C-alpha cells in the first residue's frame, strides 16, 4: 500500500469533511492508496466519530487544552496560543509523515508545514480557503509576514488548491497572485462528503412531524455574543408559535448555559452530529460566517441568517460575498441584537424570502473529485480517458 498523509489544522473542523471527500475519491481512483489523517482537537474527534480512515494523534500533544472549569478560557485565547505554536505544528507533521512512511502529504491550512516538509524531502500538496489577505487591514509587520508565508508555500509545494472563488479574495493584486500560483476548486464543504439520502433519513429519525426545524450553530468561543442573542430570539419565537422546533449546536470552547432552556429547544455540542446533515433538513438556519457553514447552507438551499464575528474582516468578507452572490442575509456588528435577529428570523420563516443558490451536493462532489484526480495524477496514475 502507498500511504498519503492528510494533515489538518489543529484549530477548527471546517476542513474535515472536504478532506474526507478527497480521500474517498482518491482511494476510488487509486485503490493502492491508504489515506491517513493527522489531526487534533475537534477535527480529530469528528474523524474518529466517522471511523472511516486511520487517525494518528501526532498533533494532539501540542494543542493547548482548555479546562471546563477555567472561567478565563475563550476561543480567542486558544486561537492565539495555537498560532504561536505554528513551528511545533510543522515539526509534528514532518514527524508523523516519517512515522507512517508517507509518500505524499496533503496539508490543509497549516502554512508553516510545507517549507519544513520540503526541506525534509517529502512531497507536499497544499489546500487552503484563506490566503491571509485580510492582513492588509493590520499593521505593516503582519502584512509582510503574510506575504512571506504565501511565497514560502508557493516555493515548497507541488500543487496548491484554493477552496473557493477568486472574487472571495480581498483585492485585485491578491486575485492575480492566486490565479498564477493556485488552482481554484470552487466550494467544498461537508456536502461533498455526505449523501443527499442520508440527510432525508435524518429528518425521518427526528420526532419533528409537520413542525418546522430551526438549526442554530454557534461557532467557536469568538461567536458567543451572537450565539446568545440567537438563542434569545429563538426562545421568543417558540413562545409565539407552536409549530417550531429549535436545535442549537455550540462549537469549540463555547460556554453555554444548559439551564432554563425553553420548551422546544435542545442544546448540543457541534461534535455530536454532522452539522451539514442538520443544515440540509432544516427550514431555517442561523450560522456564523465561516466558509464551510455558508457553503453547506447555501448549497442545501436553506433560508439562512449569517452572523459574522465583529471585527473579523475575513468573516465579514465571506458574509458580503454570499449575500451578493447567493442571497444569504447577514447582520453585522451592532445589528446582532436579539430584536434584530428576531425580525430577520420572522422574515426567513415566511415564504417571502428567496432561497440561496450556492453550489450544491453534486457541484461540491465534482470539485473534490477533480482535486483527487490531480493528486492521483501526481502520484503516477494517469487521468482516466473516455472509451472509444
- What pLDDT, on a 0 to 100 scale, did the predictor assign at position 262? 73
- What pLDDT, on a 0 to 100 scale, did the predictor assign at position 215? 95
Range scoring the smallest mean pLDDT among 15-24, 201-210, 287-296 = 201-210
In-domain check, residue 252 = yes
Residue 12, pLDDT > 80, answer no
The mean pLDDT value for 217-226 works out to 80
User: 28 Cβ partners below 8 Å, 6+ apart?
Assistant: 372
Q: Is 136 in the same domain as 35? A: yes
d(CA 221, CA 116): 31
Residue 72, pLDDT > 50, answer no
In-domain check, residue 65 = yes
Residue 286, pLDDT > 70, answer yes
Q: What is the mean pLDDT of the chain?
A: 85
Residue 352, pLDDT > 80, answer no
φ, ψ of residue 330 to 5 degrees: the values are -145, 150
8-state DSSP, 210: T
Per-residue DSSP letters for 13-35? STTHHHHHHHHHHHHHH-TTEEE
- What pLDDT, on a 0 to 100 scale, did the predictor assign at position 258? 54
Per-residue DSSP letters for 47-92? HHHH-SS-EE-TTGGGSPP--TT-TT--HHHHHHHHHHTHHHHHHH
Q: Is 151 in the same domain as 253? A: no
Q: Is 226 in the same domain as 143? A: no
Binned at pLDDT 50, 70 and 90, residue 66 comes out as: very low
How many folded domains does the chain comprise? 2
Q: Is 28 in the same domain as 153? A: yes
Residue 200, pLDDT > 80, answer no
Binned at pLDDT 50, 70 and 90, residue 250 comes out as: confident
Q: Is 232 in the same domain as 108? A: no
Q: Per-residue pLDDT tens for 313-329?
A: 888 889 999 999 999 99
Range scoring the smallest mean pLDDT among 108-112, 149-153, 263-267, 289-293 = 263-267
- What pLDDT, on a 0 to 100 scale, did the predictor assign at position 137? 59
In-domain check, residue 62 = yes
Q: Is 161 in the same domain as 249? A: no
- What pLDDT, on a 0 to 100 scale, did the predictor assign at position 67? 40
Q: Do residues 322 and 295 make contact, with C-beta atoms less than 8 angstroms apart?
A: no
- What pLDDT, on a 0 to 100 scale, did the predictor assign at position 76? 52
- What pLDDT, on a 0 to 100 scale, did the predictor assign at position 92? 87
The mean pLDDT value for 285-297 works out to 94
Binned at pLDDT 50, 70 and 90, residue 83 comes out as: low
In-domain check, residue 236 = yes
The CATH code of the domain that includes 276 is 3.40.50.2000
Q: Is 124 in the same domain as 266? A: no
More confident residue, 41 or 186: 186
8-state DSSP, 309: P
The mean pLDDT value for 130-146 works out to 77
User: 184 Cβ partners below 8 Å, 6+ apart?
Assistant: 161, 162, 164, 165, 166, 178
Q: Is 36 in the same domain as 97? A: yes
Surface-to-core class of residue 111, CB atoms within 10 Å of its CB (0-12 exposed, 13-18 middle, 19+ buried): buried
Q: Is 169 in the same domain as 143? A: yes
Binned at pLDDT 50, 70 and 90, residue 68 comes out as: very low
Q: Look-up: residue for cell 505524499?
A: 104
In-domain check, residue 29 = yes
What's the domain range around 157?
Answer: 2-187+362-379
b/e per residue 17-47 (b: at least 16 CB within 10 A) = bbbbbbbbbbbebbeebbbbbbbbbbbbbbb
φ, ψ of residue 244 to 5 degrees: the values are -130, 140
Q: At what angle do helices 16-29 and 41-50 cross, to 10 degrees?
A: 50
Q: Per-residue pLDDT tens for 23-65?
A: 999 999 989 899 999 988 788 888 988 888 888 876 654 444 4
Residue 370, pLDDT > 90, answer yes
In-domain check, residue 346 = yes
- What pLDDT, on a 0 to 100 scale, did the predictor assign at position 367? 95
In-domain check, residue 143 = yes
Q: Is 280 in the same domain as 316? A: yes
In-domain check, residue 387 = no
pTM equals: 0.89
- What pLDDT, on a 0 to 100 scale, did the predictor assign at position 73? 43
Q: Is 201 in the same domain as 250? A: yes
Q: Per-residue pLDDT tens for 333-348?
A: 889 999 999 999 999 9
Q: Is 163 in the same domain as 211? A: no
More confident residue, 387 or 280: 280
Amino acid at each position: 500500500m502507498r500511504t498519503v498523509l492528510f494533515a489538518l489544522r489543529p484549530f477548527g473542523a471546517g476542513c474535515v469533511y472536504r478532506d474526507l471527500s478527497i480521500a474517498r475519491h482518491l482511494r476510488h481512483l487509486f485503490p493502492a492508496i491508504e489515506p491517513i489523517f493527522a489531526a487534533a482537537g475537534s477535527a480529530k474527534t469528528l474523524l474518529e466519530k466517522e471511523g472511516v480512515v486511520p487517525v494518528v494523534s501526532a498533533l494532539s500533544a501540542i494543542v493547548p487544552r482548555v479546562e471546563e472549569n477555567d472561567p478565563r478560557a475563550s476561543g480567542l485565547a486558544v486561537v492565539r496560543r495555537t498560532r504561536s505554536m505554528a513551528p511545533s505544528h510543522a515539526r509534528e507533521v514532518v514527524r508523523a509523515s516519517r512515522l507512517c512512511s508517507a509518500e505524499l502529504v496533503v496539508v490543509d491550512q497549516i502554512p508553516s508545514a510545507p517549507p519544513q516538509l520540503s526541506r525534509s524531502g517529502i512531497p507536499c500538496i497544499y489546500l487552503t480557503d484563506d490566503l491571509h489577505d485580510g492582513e492588509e487591514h493590520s499593521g505593516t509587520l503582519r502584512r509582510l509576514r503574510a506575504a512571506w508565508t504565501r511565497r514560502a508555500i508557493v516555493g515548497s509545494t507541488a500543487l496548491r488548491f484554493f477552496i473557493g472563488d477568486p472574487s472571495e479574495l480581498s483585492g485585485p493584486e491578491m486575485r492575480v497572485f492566486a490565479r498564477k500560483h493556485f488552482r481554484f476548486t470552487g466550494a467544498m464543504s461537508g456536502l461533498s462528503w455526505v449523501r443527499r439520502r442520508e440527510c432525508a433519513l435524518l429528518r425521518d429519525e427526528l420526532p419533528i412531524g409537520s413542525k418546522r426545524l430551526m438549526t442554530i450553530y454557534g461557532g467557536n468561543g469568538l461567536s458567543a455574543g451572537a450565539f446568545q442573542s440567537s438563542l434569545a430570539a429563538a426562545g421568543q419565537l417558540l413562545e409565539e408559535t407552536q409549530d417550531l422546533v429549535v436545535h442549537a449546536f455550540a462549537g469549540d470552547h463555547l460556554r453555554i448555559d444548559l439551564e432554563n432552556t425553553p420548551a422546544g429547544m435542545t442544546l448540543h455540542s457541534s461534535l455530536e452530529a454532522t452539522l451539514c446533515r442538520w443544515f440540509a433538513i432544516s427550514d431555517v438556519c442561523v450560522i456564523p460566517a465561516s466558509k464551510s457553514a455558508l457553503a453547506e447552507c447555501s448549497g442545501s438551499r436553506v433560508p439562512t441568517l449569517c452572523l459574522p464575528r465583529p471585527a473579523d474582516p475575513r468573516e465579514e468578507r465571506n458574509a458580503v460575498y454570499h449575500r451578493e452572490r447567493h442571497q444569504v442575509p447577514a447582520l453585522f456588528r451592532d445589528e446582532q441584537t436579539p430584536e434584530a435577529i428576531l425580525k430577520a428570523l420572522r422574515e426567513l420563516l415566511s415564504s417571502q424570502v428567496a432561497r440561496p443558490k450556492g453550489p450544491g451536493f453534486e457541484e461540491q462532489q465534482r470539485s473534490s473529485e477533480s482535486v483527487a484526480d490531480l493528486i492521483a495524477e501526481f502520484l503516477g496514475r494517469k487521468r482516466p480517458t473516455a472509451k472509444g
